[in-house]
Structure formats: structure tokens, C-alpha cells
Amino acid sequence: MSRKEGRNLRIALIHVMQETNTFNPLLTTLADFANVAFLEGELMLSRVDPNGPTAGCIDVINSSEFDIQVVPILRADAQSGGRLSSETLSELCRIIQLGLGDGTEFDGLMVFLHGAASADGFDDVEGEVLSAIRQVAKRHIPIALMLDHHANVTHKMMDQVDLLMAFRTQPHDPYETARDLTKIALEIFSKKITPTMAWKKIPMITHQEQFLTASGPMKEWFDLARRFEAEGKALSISLFPMQPWLDVSEAGWSVVVVTDNDQTAAQEIAVELANHAWSKRGQFMVLENMAVTDAIVFADDPEQGKILLSDTGDSVLGGSPGDSTVILEALLAREMQHNSLVPITDPVAARQLASSQIGEMVTLNLGGWSNSFYSPIQVTGRVKAIREGAVFLQGLPQGSVDMGKSAILEVGNVSILVTEFSGVGGIHPDVYRFFDVEPNDFKMFVMKTASNFQYMREITTKFVRVATPGPTQSDVQSLPWSRIPRPMFPLDILEGWSA
């Protein structure tokens, strides 16, 4: 960083993001982080993805009045999935502690975490990571924390941070959030302001279908927080509609309010926003999905343009493995007039296809290998293309994704993308262009997401949420809960609650 007028500040950067789906039984390991990003020390700054939080933070640092030395510690990003193995969690904590040394040299820490990560034996990964940081960075060193707004905020997290800010939009805005967080953090690190925080937990979870912040009750709730900020009532307000596949002991929605040393105001705003969400709980539960057969018939209708079929139960961005066969089986069982693209994760099938010849006819079992929500199916098709390695995806916060060994298998007019790793579940057209397959030439697209439709928007007309079972299914009431605190809306009758 260049020399500037004013104080010198020394700031560490720590970034660990994985969203856990506790209904996915597959453990997440260091290899899963390596597939997206695992960059220790200075390597962290060798790959700054333009839409990621580090870019937002660095841009503010570069234009600040302070002379700032940035100390990159670790960037570890993994695709959403099952709980981290306990070895993975301890290795992440070990690297962070090693990088921080004795911690005394820092004026502040910028920490970018997801907030909904769990590990084998640890419900609250972020609480553990922050505790590991606090073991070396003593209490007087301020920590500014960024979280995904689908986080589960816990006591252990709140006890250790001085400033917290969550994403403001879904689809998410990590660059902008980290940028705005850093602006406030620099005021704290340079001792210009003394923030105080209040927070409220709300005993509710709701399904994913009203999670977009561009419409409906979520927009109304988020708009209210932005209005309070614009009116100068708080430095920052974070709303947390927790992602609904997290069966952990402190689960639930929450609100966190940061003010400049006004605890009463922070408390009042947190209460008001928590009560607002609670009062809209019925609206948050409105479903907009279609049964599988109805959805594919609708998508096949020539009058309907190009249709995205959202496989809501098997959303890889929500932590499902991407191996559901439910929509694929329906497409193959029915004589569809139009062609379709379907992604599926299957390491065994992907490796088998990668060792075959282009044009070869192969018969193999596909999908349904990871859990009991759905089953494998047998298909016979022609190998159209084979690839391996990382593909850069424009606009994706993590920049690129490695699908491992992968192939396109054509079964009639259904083209199946079979990948060794879950990748991004076919949400981006360049995933297919990597195989010289042009998505524009197709009528229907199965996508393993229930909310990230933005990358396909230019080539599709409409999206349909399909009511499929799986670790990310919309129906939260029929999931096998065991650890979540009770009573919890909508699992229990909970009248008369108020913040």
C-alpha cells in the first residue's frame, strides 16, 4: 500500500465461507475447499475475485486516508454441502492462528464468514473460528465481521465481534457488503467511533420460496431496514432469514443492529424489526411451486418460451449434492417434444464417461447415490463431450468452479451434464459452453438452485419452482429435525411470541 497522510493501520484479512446443509450426509473436507479456493497468506491476494468480499475491502483500503498494511491470512471457500469434517475445522483454525501470530500487532481484523457452517460435532463453525481468532487476538483488537444473511447468528459469534454486517440482497452482494463494512470498520480501527450492537433472535424458519429480496415480504422487511439506515437511526442493520436446512441447537432468524454508542436505539430497532418479521410469518410461508409432471408439461409447451426448471429439493447452492434424478426421470419417462439440459453430480458415472470415446453409446446408473430422498436411475445415451478442470464463470463471486471430470451424455433429446463434483448445478450458461454446447439451442433447463436464476436470465423467459424432495426441499415441515430449538414456527404452535 502507498504511503499516505495520517495514521498507520495494520489489518488482517480472514475469509472462510461454506454454507452447511445438515440434511446432506456427505462431509465437507479440505479437498472441497481446494476445489473452489484455498489460499494461505500472500496467495490470498494473488486471486482477488472482482465480485468477492476481499475486492470490496481492498478498494476501500486503497482509497482511504490511512496508510494501511494489509496482512492476508487465509481465504477458504467451499461449495455449500454437508457438515465440515472435524479435522477440516481444526485445520482452518490452526492456519488462522498461525497467520495471526500472537495477534498483538493488529489494529483490527476484517473477517468474512458465512455464518451457517457446521462441522461434525460442532453446530457453530463460525463461533469456533472466532474463538480461535480471539485466543490470539486479544479482546481490545476490534473484529469486523461480514456474514451471509442466511446465517444462524449465535451467542458465541456476537460475544466476540465489534461490528457485524450481512449481505443486503439475495442474490447476494459480497463486494458491496464488504466495501460498506470496511468503511465503518476503519472508523472503529482508527478509534473515531465506538459502535454498540443489539440483537434479537426470532423463533422461526420458513421455506426458501419467499427468500428473494426483490419482491414480497422479504423485500418489505429489507426495505424497512434500509430506510432506518437512510434516516440515520443506525450505522448498520443486518437481517438474517436463516437458511432453512440447518438443524442446529441455536437455529432461527435474527436481527442485528449497530449504532454509534447508542445501545437503547439499537435495542429498539432490533425489537421493531424482529416483530415485523414475526408479523409477516404467514406471508413468508406462501409457496409458488408446481408438481413435477405439471412443471415439465408447462416447460414443453411451445407457447411458453424457454423455461428454467428449478430443482428446489436438490439446490447445490443450498448444500444439496446435485444428484437428484426426480426431474430427469420424469423427462425421460415422458415423450417430450422439446430438448432439455439437465445437470447431475455423480463421481462414478463422471469418471466412467470420461474414460469413454466421444460418440460411444453407454449404459450406466446415474444419480441418487448420496441420500434417501431419491434413487438412482439407469440410462443409455451417447457421449457428446468430455472435459476436466476449472471453468471461469463471469459474475460468480468465487470466480471459477472445478467440476472435476465431466461429460455431456445425450439420451434422446435430453442432454445430461454429468460432473464429478457438484459445481454450480448448471446455473450458468458458460458451464455448458465449456463443452461447446450452446444453451440457447435448448427449450428447458433444469437448474440445481431455487434462487440464483440471474446468470440464465438473458436466455430464458420464465422460471418454475418444481416441488421436488431433497436436502433443500421447500417443505420445511417434513424435514427430519432433531437439534433445532423448540418451539419453532412453523413446526410448532407458537402464539403470543413477541420480541
What are the residues binding Zn ion (CB under 5 A)? 148, 150
The residue ranges of DSSP E strands in 203-338, in sequence order, are: 236-240, 253-260, 289-290, 307-311
75 vs 150 by CB, closer to Zn ion: 150
Q: How far is the CB of 486 from Zn ion (least distance, A)?
A: 25
Q: Judged by CB, which is closer to Zn ion: 289, or 449?
A: 449
CB of 33 closer than 8 Å to CB of 76: yes
Report in angstroms how near the CB of residue 149 gets to Zn ion at its nearest: 6
CB 369 to Zn ion: min, Å = 26
Least distance from Zn ion to the Cβ atom of residue 172, Å: 6
Q: How far apart are CA 344 and CA 447, in angstroms?
A: 10
Residue closer to Zn ion by CB (options 195, 241) is 241
Nearer to Zn ion, 18 or 236 (CB): 18
Cβ-based nearer residue to Zn ion, 150 or 281 = 150
> For residues 80 and 325, which CB has a smaller minimum distance to Zn ion in the complex?
80
User: E strands within 325-374?
Assistant: 340-345, 361-366
CB atoms within 10 A of CB 308: 23
Which of these, 268, 15, 28, 44, lies nearest to 147 by C-alpha position? 15
CB-neighbour burial class of residue 220 (10 A; exposed 0-12, middle 13-18, buried 19+): middle
Query: Which residue in the shown chain puts its C-beta closest to Zn ion?
Result: 150
Q: Which of 94, 104, 81 is nearest to 18 (CA)?
A: 81
Q: Smallest gap, in angstroms, from Cβ of residue 148 to Zn ion?
A: 4
Nearer to Zn ion, 317 or 385 (CB): 317
CA distance 396 to 456: 12
Grid cell locating 300: 414443453
CA distance 216 to 284: 8
61 to 104, 175, 257, 343: CA distances (angstroms) = 21, 13, 24, 40
**H-helix or E-strand containing 148?**
none
Nearer to Zn ion, 75 or 405 (CB): 75
| Residue 19 beta carbon to Zn ion: minimum distance, rounded to whole angstroms | 6
Choice between 166 and 327, CB closer to Zn ion? 166
Record the cell numbers describing residue 181, joined without a space: 463494512
Grid cell in block for residue 436: 461447446
Sort 28 into a burial class: Cβ within 10 Å, 0-12 / 13-18 / 19+.
buried
In the complex with Zn ion, which residue's Cβ is closer, 208 or 415? Answer: 208
**Comparison of 368 and 399: residue with beta carbon closer to Zn ion:** 399
When the beta carbons of 150 and 280 are compared against Zn ion, the nearer one is 150
In degrees, rounded to 5, the angle at the alpha carbon of residue 221 between the alpha carbons of residues 178 and 206 is 95
Place of cell 462441522: 119
Q: Is 350 helix (H, G, I), strand (E, B) or coil?
A: helix
Residue 486: burial class (beta carbons within 10 Å; 0-12, 13-18, 19+): exposed
Q: Which 3 state secondary structure label does DSSP give 132?
A: helix
Rounded to a whole number of angstroms, the minimum distance from the CB of residue 273 to Zn ion is 19
Q: What is the smallest separation between the CB atom of 240 and Zn ion, expressed in angstroms?
A: 10
Minimum distance, C-beta of residue 150 to Zn ion, in the bound complex (Å): 4
Supply the minimum distance, in Å, between the C-beta of residue 119 and Zn ion.
19
Mapped onto helix, strand or coil, the DSSP state of residue 151 is coil
Least separation in angstroms between CB 242 and Zn ion? 10
Instruction: Look up residue 93 and give its DSSP letter.
Output: H
Q: What are phi and psi of 198, to 5 degrees?
A: -130, 150
AA letter at 335 = E
**Contact (CB, 8 A) for 481 and 323:** no
H or E stretch at 410: strand 400-411
| Nearest distance from C-beta of residue 146 to Zn ion, angstroms | 12
